[in-house]
Amino acid sequence: MRLRTLVAAVATAATLTITPGIALAAPITATHCRTTQPDGSVVRLGLADNGRSLCLRTDQRVLVVLSVDPQVYPDPSNWWTPITEDGAALAPLPLTILPVRGTTIGSFRAVQPGAATLSSTWSICPPGPPACGAPIRLWRIQAQVTA
């Protein structure tokens, strides 16, 4: 019993660190940054963009849409967590659209040159104790904002 709990804890910690099949890109610098959307249009990101590095210009917008099948995962505790921003280069924007069930949306604007990380997590464990030991999946992108 103890061994199974230990193995589950190690597996969960490993998945939090690295999502299987996704290698996060090395940090990017302003000198090596080409704008993701040269025309300045909104950059749309989804599940397939996990681990991506992108370059933005000041005032450019980013829209993140992460979804699960609400028929398979009807409980909101099993959906992607709200998208968080770490760093001063991006600022969250108010949502002007209502997401469909099972979808988590985040909208951001590049406010100043620098770096930022957007991230979210997803767990298939049912809410409340006991923990089921299922892995938690991490979604994360790195952004570099230039003037």
Domains located in the chain, CATH noted: 2-146 (2.60.40.2020)
Percent helix, strand and coil across the chain, each to the nearest 5: 15, 35, 50
Question: What pLDDT shows up at residue 49?
Answer: 94
Question: What pLDDT shows up at residue 84?
Answer: 96
Question: What pLDDT shows up at residue 18?
Answer: 37
**Residue 94 token pair:** 């108010």
Q: Which residue has the tokens 């921003």?
A: 85
Q: Does 74 score more than 70 pLDDT?
A: yes
Percentage of residues in the chain with pLDDT exceeding 70? 69
pTM, two decimals, is 0.74
Question: What pLDDT shows up at residue 123?
Answer: 85
**Mean pLDDT, the chain, as a whole number?**
78
